[in-house]
Amino acid sequence: MTHRITAMLESHPASIGLETEALTECLAACFECAQTCSACADACLSEEMVADLRGCIRTNLDCADICDATGRVLSRHTAYDATITRAILQACAQACRSCGDECASHADMHEHCRVCAEACRRCEDACHRLLETID
């Protein structure tokens, strides 16, 4: 997947001046996290104790939406605005931190929550690394 992301970034005629490797890693992490959070929310809905997982489901769905939106914004380079990129990366990192914490609290009982917490931590880290490259 990252090969195609890199190829697309490098073929784009507009440059946004961000480090390609960090941007590629962040894009991949955002889209992976969006999918993982969506799947985790669905898995939570299938659990016997679904009522106990309401907060986890909500946090998963919010994180999935924010990660997806972040990936889509990061994919656009025409008329780039670093202020918007910085804000969405900060929001994504926070959503991933919140979701990762929530899922980690259920990880001993639900493997899908453990997997989701890992994806959230990876995405949070990737957002922070990309934030460090923005002037």
How many residues appear in the chain? 135
- State how many domains the chain has: 1
Output DSSP code: residue 26.
Answer: H
pLDDT at 18: 87
pLDDT at 8: 86
Model pTM score: 0.95
pLDDT at 127: 98
Half-sphere exposure of 90 (CA within 13 A, CB side): 7
Question: From the CA atom positions of the chain, what is the Rg in Å?
Answer: 15
Contacts of 118 (CB under 8 A, 6+ apart): none
Q: In the chain, which stretches have pLDDT less than 50? A: none
Residue tagged 């907060």 (tokens): 55
Give dist(CA 83, CA 24) in Å, integer: 19
Give dist(CA 94, CA 14) in Å, integer: 29
Q: b/e string for 13-31 if b means 16 or more Cβ within 10 A? A: eeebebeeebbbbbbbbbb
What is the span of the domain harbouring residue 68? 2-13+20-131
Half-sphere exposure of 59 (CA within 13 A, CB side): 22
At 12, is the secondary structure helix, strand, or coil? coil
**What CATH number is given to the structural domain containing 40?**
1.20.1270.360
pLDDT at 22: 95
